[in-house]
Structures are given as C-alpha cells and as structure tokens.
Structure 1
Amino acid sequence: MKKILLLVFVCFLGIQMTFAQDVISVKEFLKIKGNDNVVLVSTRKATDYAKVHIDGAIHVNHKDLYKAEPKSTLKSTAEIAKILGAKGISNTNTIVLYDNGSGKYSGRVYWILKYLGAKDVKILDGHMKAWRMARKPVTKNPVKRKATTFNVALNKAAIADIVQVKKASNSSAAVVVDVRSADEYKGIKESKLPKGHIPNAINLEFKKVMTSKSKLKSKEELQALFNAAGITKDKEVILYCESSVRAGVVYMALKSALAYPKVKVYDGALFEWTATETVQK
C-alpha cells in the first residue's frame, strides 16, 4: 500500500513539475541561482533596471532586438544571436526572465528565445513583486557576464507571417487571437493605427492568463479560460497584438502549461497588417 501511495505521489509531483517547467518560483530559483549555467535576466525598462534590480540580474531590452521597419519586428537571427552572446547568454544556459509583473516584456523575450532555439527558458513566477515580497536582495549595480556564443537552432513553428495569418483567419482549423484589451479589439480605444482587429480574430486579453499577483494561473484555470474562448488544442493558434509584445506570455501559457501543439506568434502584428490590409470592428 505504501508503495502505491508513493507511486501516486511521484506521478502527481511529475505532473506539477511538467506544468511548471517554464515557470519557476522564487523558492525554486534560489536553489539554482548559484549555478554558473543559470542566467537571470531583467527584461524591464533600462531606467527601471538602473534604479533597482534583482541581485545578479543582467539586463536585456526587448526593443534592442527589433529592426526599424516594420515596427517592433525582429532583427535577423544572426543579429539577435550576436546581441545575446555579447550579454553572456548562450542557447544552452538556463535562462530565467522577469519584469515588473505585467508579463509583457518577459513573455516577449521568452518567445524570442524559444524561437531562436534556446533550450531552457523560464519566467520567474510573480516577477519583481514576488522577489520583493520574499525580501530577497536587490541592487543598483549593473551586472556584466563574460561574452559567449548563442548558436541559433530556429524554431520555425513558433512564428507566423502575414500569408499564414490571412489563411488562418478564414479557416475553421485555426484561430487568430488578439491579446489586446477588449476596447482595443473593438476599436473603441484611441490608437495611431486603424481601429479594429484582424478580420475573424477573437479576443482574449493577455492579462487573463495571470493572477492579480502576477503569477501564471493554474493549469485548470488556463484550460477553462481557453476552452471558453474557443481556443482548443485541435486548432492552429496564432497570437498577436499591436506589436505582439503582449502575445509572448500567452504563447508560454499555451505551449508550456497546456502543451498546445500548434501555437505561433504573428511577429509583424498590427503594425505590419494595417500597412496593407483592412481591419474589422
């Protein structure tokens, strides 16, 4: 009987670890913090990093990874790999990301790293809020790691282009998801871009995958959320927002927490779409 109970416990623990494979708690992070292969990355704004950051964290600004046009779209993979390598980030590191708690910036860098083929990328659950609540050390002193090489192993399944989005928006086998607020989706909120959304796209705001404490919701809560929105595992899922910065954390929730097989981020996002295509209200 004891062996059976132990086996059930181990299986349960395995399920929990699988769910949390790309989310790491402050307590779990502290256990690996001293490992030389672990890189802690603040994805907050440079001004925030300069004021205070988690002790030992380097800084990566997601905007440094973009080309000028279309706005907020990725530089070449070679350019991004060079930037990451100069920061001391290798594709074989365990990379732990955090931001102020919105999940936007860490999620964006998470998706970029997964797209480039980084093997082990995690997001600190609760971000800076959780670190502060745990009363762990912070500093103003910038951190610099020894430069290394980031070898790209491109994950083409993680990205969608405008041709794929057009096809998906007219397919019952796919769902295009606008992760902006409802007012942005409906074209109510003021915007420099044409008001509205990609035709036939549905709306699920990125904030809904997290709790009020900036932690990822449970597997059960996430599955119920996506099912209610019609975002099911049998469909190809393409995520976007104005710049697709907000899409990254939803990508992580679908791929890591729920193991959805076909999830992409439309990197061109509305900036690219509205340059040539119409929107729907």
Structure 2
Amino acid sequence: MKSITILSFTAGLLFLLADLSYGQDIISAADLAQIIKSDQVVVVSARKAEDYKKVHITGAIHLDHKSLYKEKSMLQDPVQIATILGNKGISDQMKIVVYDNGSAKYSGRIYWILKYLGAKDVKMLDGGMKAWRMARKPVTKNPTTGKKARFNPAVDKSSFASMSQVKQASKNPAYVLVDVRSFEEYNGTAQTKLRPGHVPKAVNLNYKEVLTAQGTLKSNAELAPIFANVGITKNKEIILYCESSVRAGIVYLALKSALKYPKVRVYDGAYLEWESFKENKIEVAP
C-alpha cells in the first residue's frame, strides 16, 4: 500500500513538472554547461559583433543574423545560407544552442532560420548571456573559429510565409495574422519612417509578453491564456511578423515548441516588405 502511494505521488509530481515545462527547444544555463564540451554541440552567439568581442560564452562562435539576408532583411537562398553556416562550423546534424544578451530577439531570429533550414536539434539558451553570467559559467574574450562543417538544407516550407500568403490569410478566417511589435507600432502612433499601421486583420501581441522580467520564456501555463485571449488558437493557422521578423522568432518558439501549435509560420518579408508596396493596404487602430 505504501509503495502504491509513493508511485502515485511520483506520477503526480511528474505530471506537474510536465505541465510547467518550458518547451523542448529551451535549455537552461546549468544544462548547457553540462553538454557544452561535446563535439556534437555548437554554441552560437547571435549578439552584436562588438558585444561578442568584449565577452562571450567560452567556445561560442559568432553569427550575425544580418549576414544571412539579401535585401529588406529578407533571407538569402537556403543554399547560400547553408554555405555560410557550414563555413562557420555549424552542421544540420549537430545540437545547436543559440543565445543573445537576453532580449531573445536575435537568438529567436537565428533559431527560426535554423528550423526553417531543417536543422534537426536547435535550442535557445533561456535568458541568454544574462542568465549564463548569473549562473557564473565560463566566459572569454578570445574568439572561437569553428571547424568547417557541412550543412545540408532541408527547407521546412510550412514554417515560412510569403507576402502572397499573407494577402490570402488576411481574407481567410482560418488564419490569424499576428503583429508582434509594440502597440504603438501596431496602431500607427510610433515614430517611424514606415507607413504607420499594420497588415489588415492582424491582431497585436507584443513579443515581450511571452517573456518574464528576467528575459526567460514564461511557463506553458502562463503562455496559453496570453495567446488564447487574443484569438490565437490551435485550430487556426498562425502567421507572425514584426518590422523585419526578428522579434517573431521567440513567439514562433513559444507557439510551436512550447505549446505545440501545429501550424505556425513567420512572414519573412515582414512589415518592411508589406508597407513598401503602395498597393498593399494598411490598417490603423482607432
């Protein structure tokens, strides 16, 4: 009888822990520290070059997300990106851990790009460099040059949205367009050189809503109602965007990896592309 009680308690505890999980693609500083020396793990700093030069996680290589673009912050051809990644020492067969200073913007962008290109195991360091330093883990000023590798792209078209797909989605109730910029950007009151407003029919959810004050991803129990309250539900196909879709990456992770939403895309051209075509309509919040 006693053993049955213990088993029931253990099962209940495991269920609780599973409910509070942060998603399979988030890794803590403590867990990264345990695997970082493996030859099959590559740590990628998505921070600015000047920040990387000052200090970075020991063994991390630097990758600027802007080096993967062609124009208007849109991605280069997947084969070209794969060549850049391979030259950096990043293989699609490795466990790839991405981090930034803690905003989750740049690491989220690289995370989504890697997932789009078909990398099999990509994780984001929860809390970024800030969390790593707080955990007193090894850092260095010495740059790391990765050993050249081969990255074989296997593009996941289901994670990508084009402008034509966004146009169709804005007229189809089976889709939800999500603008993850600030409310001021969304409603057209922010100071900007772009046409003020948002893609027609898009709802607004600031990307910061998925993060805690410490810059870590909120728990599944916290995330679920945040999305549901603005109509972002699992029975819809979700398309995310911001000004250049840099901020969309962490929201993609929250939906796809943590909450297991089946259909989530990122509009790579983002608002920058949308507003540049004069024939594209813009909505402004009243």
Q: Please indicate, yes or no, whether the TM-score normalized by the shorter chain is above 0.5.
A: yes
Change (3 A) 1:212 1:14: closer
Alignment of 1:81-160 (within 5 A): 81-160=82-161
Q: Deviations over 1:201-255 (max 9, x none)?
A: 1100001100010100000110010011110000010000111111000000000
Structure 1 runs, 4 residues or longer, greater than 3 Å off: 2-17
Indicate the residue corresponding to 1:50 in structure 2.
Answer: 53
Distance apart, 1:3 and its partner CA:
3.6
- Give distance in 2, aligned partners of 1:252 and 1:20: 8
Distance apart, 1:11 and its partner CA:
5.0
Contact residue 20 and residue 221 of structure 2 kept, 8 A: no
Indicate the residue corresponding to 1:200 in structure 2.
Answer: 201
Q: Structure 2 stretches of 5 or more lacking a match?
A: none
3-state SS of 1:190 partner = coil
Contact residue 74 and residue 269 of structure 2 kept, 8 A: yes
Distance apart, 1:14 and its partner CA:
5.4
- Give distance in 2, aligned partners of 1:16 and 1:188: 37
Q: What's the TM-score once normalised by structure 2's chain length?
A: 0.94
Q: What's the TM-score once normalised by structure 1's chain length?
A: 0.96
3-state SS of 1:100 partner = coil
3-state SS of 1:170 partner = coil
Q: Deviations over 1:90-145 (max 9, x none)?
A: 00111111101111100000000000000110010111111111122211110011
Over the aligned positions, Cα root-mean-square deviation in angstroms equals 1.3
Alignment of 1:184-223 (within 5 A): 184-223=185-224
Distance apart, 1:6 and its partner CA:
3.8
Indicate the residue corresponding to 1:275 in structure 2.
Answer: 276
3-state SS of 1:229 partner = coil
Letter in 2 for 1:154: V
- Give distance in 1, aligned partners of 2:7 and 2:246: 47
Indicate the residue corresponding to 1:250 in structure 2.
Answer: 251
Indicate the residue corresponding to 1:37 in structure 2.
Answer: 40
> Which of the numbers 53, 62, 66 marks the counterpart of 1:63?
66
Distance apart, 1:12 and its partner CA:
4.9
- Give distance in 1, aligned partners of 2:115 and 2:47: 19
Q: How many pairs align? A: 278
Indicate the residue corresponding to 1:24 in structure 2.
Answer: 27
Alignment of 1:170-189 (within 5 A): 170-189=171-190
Q: Does 1:76 align with 2:77?
A: yes
Contact residue 104 and residue 127 of structure 2 kept, 8 A: no
Distance apart, 1:54 and its partner CA:
1.0
Contact residue 45 and residue 56 of structure 2 kept, 8 A: yes
Letter in 2 for 1:233: K
Q: Deviations over 1:167-221 (max 9, x none)?
A: 1111211110000000000110111111110011110000110001010000011
3-state SS of 2:229 partner = helix
Q: Deviations over 1:137-157 (max 9, x none)?
A: 211110011101001111000
